[in-house]
Amino acid sequence: MVRAFRQHVLILAAFGLVLVMSVRDVFGVQNQPLETAGGVRFNRDVLPILAEHCFECHGFDEAHREAGLRLDLSESATSELPSGMRAVVPGNPSASELLRRVVHSDPEQRMPPAPGKTLSSQQVQTLTDWITAGAQYEKHWAYQPIQRPDVPAAVDTHPIDAFIARELTERGLRPSPPADRITLIRRVTLDLTGLPPTMEDVDSFLADHSERAYERVVDGLLASPHFGERWARWWLDLAHYGDSDGYLQDFLRPVAWRYRQWVIDAFNADLPFDQFTIQQLAGDLLPNATVETRMGTGFLRNTLSNREGGADLEEYRVNQVLDRTATVATTWLGLTAGCAQCHDHKFDEFTQKEFYQLYAFFNDADEENVNAALPEEREKYAAAQNDHAQRRSQVLAPVQAQLDELMAAWEAKILYTELHPGEDFAWDRNLELLGLQWGQNLGEGQLEGLHIIKTPRAQRTQSQQDRLVDYFLTATPADYTKTVEQLGLTKIKAELDQLQSQLPKATRAPAMVRTVTGRQSFVFVRGDFRRHGDVVVPDTPGSLPMLNLNDGRSLTRADRLHLAKWLVSPEHPLTARVTVNRLWQELFGRGLVATSENFGVRGDRPTHPELLDWLASDLMQQKWSIKSLLKTIVLSKTYRQSSTSRDDLAELDPQNRWLARQQRIRLSAEAIRDSALLASGLLNASIGGPSLKPLQPDSVSKDGYANVWKPSEGRDRYRRGIYTFLQRTSPFAQFVTFDLPDTSRCCTRRERSNTPLQALTLLNDPVFFEMAKALAAQTIANAAKSDADRIHYAFRTVLLRPPSPEESDRLLAFVAEQRALIQKRHAAITAPSPATAESIESPPVDAQAMVDREWVALASVLFNLDEFINRE
């Protein structure tokens, strides 16, 4: 063994390696100072240098501050240090210790210390210029209030174009001409609905020469029910939606889709983003809360649940709350708050205590599903409910008193055990099982049983009490075996089950409720849930506007509703900016702030700060209407221009920051599949409903422990990608190959990679092959008989444009070649002897299946084209 490995091979045995690598080192954001005329600006030029090189030891994090020096505040940077020096002496670079140290010739003295990078001479110059000019500090741009900027005076009447044009002119760039109309309608249709247009859509747009033709298309798309599907999928990345628990057994959550449906409906109804926010964070706390608003809190239910034996219930509950906190901070604040879980944030003004104050909002909430009968279920369910309740109490009546007594003892013992772990193993286990088994594979709240027990009997709803009785009868502790026999509880349980099976179904939905007993929150020392530091109460970070407790509910302690309203208050500097930036990112491939997950000091600065603020204030002025904002953007010339790359831009703006052209964007995993389904005619475009399982190789689900993938039947296989069942430990392989983000944490921007697995999927995946067959059949049925006509038809169906003469010729040759190969093979199959190379190479197939196979090959080639999986 050893010899074989030789010295080149580094063995990392399972028991032998810790990889220590700083995420920051690797993903260091490159903030190059912008080369513009004028003086040095703190936020734009100086802060990035300090943040990258200095703040780790001389920043906000008190516990790791060296030499008593703090460089992120003017006051402390300029005051005398314990050493007698001053880091920054405004107006006097030569007296500033900061400058002396960053260029010091002695490596021991030079800052930052190894292995930190030495500052470039340009960076030193920037610092020198800044100190010479008086070392002015500015508040971080993202924390400054949003002010509606004046739109630059320009020939362009659209405000977006005016902002973009100003920057382009300043850099000597000119915008690109408008995209051709086919490209444009394909772009806007994919962007707004996630589906390409059909040939008919294209034809009617091409035929409409009126000035408002494009706007009419846009209005139609915004009103399409597919709009909600496309933007829901965008939002589900943030919520990190999944259809299972995660962790070892990865139990199913068959009602998770109710939240997804809520999001689709919300986007289709253009629920204003402030309401959208409030209902997802606190829909249960609204004074006029309904089942609908409570279903919004399903947003908070996408955290993972560990139900493996031995799991510490409190540890995993805490993990869920931590995830909720970090998800909310990333989604609405665009801040990497999770960094403050273990220590003060290194770069942003976010103390560890502030993190746990935010945590406290969600620590006060518990998982509980709501009874949310579907429209078609409601009537039947309501009609049967009273009768059911009566019959249930009749079944229980003979033992009611004894059962109550028994359960009271059980509940008391469970509560005692929670407070006194380790005293009695059997009861520790009973408590644990209550947390692990409750609602398993039903998508119910994991600790709901425990919360019901904590709710005083008189305050429980009938449904809560019934479910607790059912659980007790199913999992009666061994201590009570004798009583169970005496009372005949097994028989009663069977009768109750029988009754339950007769009750018409009422689908439940994941939601959150306020913790019954209240829960004290602490700072966790070094992020360890067992090490309680200071007590904290729900509050928002000090660097952001104050929380307003005065909302007429006369509460003394802030709750999620306060938080949600605070997030969407007009003074809030982050929510609107973060949101419009993400919408922009979807339409241009890149946000105005490229780091859409991080608006903090280490994130990128906006390329167009004023445009960002204009969009943010516009969103609020338009009553938080997402549809209005999207319409504003897609009507701009900037959006409508060509994406074709230009030689001048390749040099002057290789990243297309200044938007002298649109951006070519690889379609999302779902959009690729949906597009192919649509073009092939297989798409089942019905909206909404539970998750489905399209075909995929059996081996995929074996990545997980006990996952089973039984493909859905019939047309359910051809639903849009958003409805695909997301099993967290073995996600749908086709989507993973095309960069579906990890479903376990919040994702603000998908990666777009380019890998051989993608090529193999499009070429050989039986699902794509099936679509190719369907397109071939459709082509043969709908186009005239000539090869050229058929090629034209298939080409237009997939790419929407007619083929160029060269392309047409090439494909004609291809079809002829395929036909020849098929005939050759056909001959080999029908002539049984002797074995030819061809017949050995692949097993004979039904000769009839070979007919028209050249058109299948053609369709498959079209689905494999780069043009098909990108939007220009």
Partner 1 sequence: MNDERTISTMLARRRVLMNGRYGIGAASLWSLMRSDASARGEDSQSPAVSPCQFAPRAKNVIFLFMMGGPSHVDLFDPKPKMAELHGMPMPASLIQAKKSATGGILETVLASRHRFRPRGQCGMEISDLLPHTSRDVDRLCLVRSMHCEQSNHDPAQLLMHCGTPLFGSPSMGSWITYGLGSLSQNMPGYLVLLSDDGHGLEGAGSSLWGSGYMPSSYRGVTFRSTGDAILHLQTPEEFTQQMQRSRIDAIRISINLRKSEPGIRRFSRELMLTRWPFECRRLRLSCCRLQTKRLRLEPPTGLIRSRLEHSGPIAFSHDAWSNAAFGSFI
419-458: which residues touch partner 1 (CB under 8 A)? 422, 425-426, 428-429, 432
- Matching residue, tokens 């919004």: 296
Instruction: Choose the stretch contacting partner 1; rule: CB under 8 A; options: 128-136, 226-234, 454-462, 847-855.
Output: 847-855
377 scored as a contact of partner 1 (CB under 8 A): no
Among candidate residues 617, 396, 576, the one with its CA nearest the CA of residue 487? 396
- Which of the stretches 87-95, 131-139, 247-255, 618-626 binds partner 1 when contact is defined by CB under 8 A? 247-255
Q: How many CB atoms lie within 10 A of CB 622?
A: 16
Footprint on residues 648-687 left by partner 1 (CB under 8 A)? 650, 654-656, 664
Which is closer to partner 1, CB of 488 or CB of 705? Answer: 705
The single residue among 697, 802, 831, 851 that binds partner 1, judged by CB under 8 A, is: 697
The reply to whether 460 sits near partner 1 by the rule CB under 8 A is: no
SS3 518: coil
Q: Are 359 and 325 in contact (CB under 8 A)?
A: yes
Q: Is 265 in the site for partner 1 (CB under 8 A)?
A: no
With binding defined as CB under 8 A, does residue 707 bind partner 1? yes
Nearer to partner 1, 261 or 734 (CB): 734
Does 853 help bind partner 1 (rule: CB under 8 A)? yes
Total interface residues for partner 1 by CB under 8 A:
119
Bridge partner list, 532: 524
Q: According to CB under 8 A, which residues from 593 to 622 bind partner 1?
A: 594
**Smallest distance, Å, CB 650 to partner 1?**
6
Report angle CA 525, 526, 529 to the nearest 5 degrees. Answer: 60
Q: Which residue type sits at 767?
A: V
Closer to partner 1 by CB, 348 or 604: give it.
604
Q: Which of 205, 231, 247, 356 binds partner 1 (CB under 8 A)?
A: 247
Nearest approach, Cβ of 775 to partner 1 (angstroms)? 14
- The CB-side HSE value for 475 (13 A sphere, CA atoms) comes to 18
CA distances from 398 to 410, 477, 488, 503, 511 (A): 20, 21, 10, 22, 35
Q: Which stretch binds partner 1 (CB under 8 A): 26-34, 80-88, 262-270, 512-520?
A: 26-34
Q: Extract the tokens encoding 660.
A: 């002298």
Q: Indicate whether 831 belongs to the interface with partner 1 (CB under 8 A).
A: no
**CB proximity list for 714: less than 8 A, separation 6 or greater:** none
With 0-12 CB in 10 A as exposed, 13-18 as middle and 19+ as buried, what is 512? buried
Name the segment binding partner 1 (CB under 8 A); options: 211-219, 502-510, 576-584, 859-867: 859-867
Does position 542 interact with partner 1 (CB under 8 A)? The reply is no
Q: Which of 383, 412, 706, 851 binds partner 1 (CB under 8 A)?
A: 706
| Residue nearer to partner 1 on the CB measure, 6 or 482 | 6
Which are the contacts of 474, defined by CB distance < 8 A and separation ≥ 6?
A: 493
- Residue 417 exposure: Cα atoms within 13 Å on the Cβ side: 21
Tell me the three state secondary structure of residue 482.
Answer: helix
Q: Which is nearer to partner 1, 468 or 791 (CB)?
A: 791
Pick from 481, 686, 753, 823: which binds partner 1 (CB under 8 A)? Answer: 753
Q: Which of 409, 760, 827, 847 binds partner 1 (CB under 8 A)?
A: 760
The continuous run of DSSP H or E covering 365 comes out as strand 365-367
Minimum Å gap between C-beta 16 and partner 1 is: 4
CA distance 351 to 355: 6
Nearest residue to 563 (alpha-carbon basis) of 323, 811, 364, 339: 364
Q: Is omega for the bond preceding 112 within 30 degrees of 0, making it cis?
A: yes
The single residue among 607, 701, 724, 797 that binds partner 1, judged by CB under 8 A, is 701
Please select the residue that binds partner 1; options are 58, 602, 627, 825, rule is CB under 8 A. Answer: 825
Q: Minimum Å distance from CB 624 to partner 1?
A: 29
Among 488, 752, 802, 851, binds partner 1 (CB under 8 A): 752
Q: Does 84 bind partner 1 (CB under 8 A)?
A: no
Cα separations in angstroms, 129 against 48, 110, 119, 503, 838: 15, 20, 15, 77, 75
> Residues 477-516 vs partner 1: string with x where CB under 8 A?
----------------------------------------
By beta-carbon proximity to partner 1, the closer residue of 629 and 733 is 733
What is the length of the chain?
A: 872
Between CA 539 and CA 543 the distance in angstroms is 12
Please choose, out of 6-14, 121-129, 546-554, 715-723, the segment that lies near partner 1 by the rule CB under 8 A.
6-14
42 binds partner 1 (CB under 8 A): no
The helix/strand/coil state of 315 is helix
Residue 173 gets the label, from left (phi > 0), alpha (psi -120 to 50) or beta, of beta
The phi, psi pair for 226, rounded to 5°, reads -75, -15
**CB 821 to partner 1: min, Å:** 5
Q: Which is nearer to partner 1, 535 or 845 (CB)?
A: 845
Question: Could you say which residues in the range 313-352 bind partner 1, by CB under 8 A?
Answer: 319, 323
How crowded is residue 427: how many other Cβ atoms within 10 Å of its Cβ? 19
Window contacting partner 1 (CB under 8 A); options: 272-280, 378-386, 548-556, 840-848: 840-848
For the purposes of burial, counting CB atoms within 10 Å of the CB of 410, is it exposed (0-12), middle (13-18) or buried (19 or more)?
buried
Angle at which helices 853-863 and 669-680 pack, to 10 degrees?
150
Residues 725-744 that bind partner 1 (CB under 8 A): 728-731, 733, 736-739, 742, 744
Would you state the torsion angle of the CA atoms of residues 611, 613, 616, 617, taken in this order, to the nearest 10 degrees? -110
From 280, 293, 297, 306, residue interacting with partner 1 (rule: CB under 8 A): 306
**771 to 800: interface string for partner 1, x by CB under 8 A:** ------------------------------
The correct pick among 293, 758, 779, 797 for binding partner 1 (CB under 8 A) is 758
- Contact between 827 and partner 1 by CB under 8 A: the answer reads no
C-alpha separations of 866 from 47, 251, 680, 818, 872 in Å: 41, 38, 17, 21, 11
Residues 125-164 within binding reach of partner 1 (CB under 8 A): none
- Residues 761, 768 contacting (CB under 8 angstroms): yes
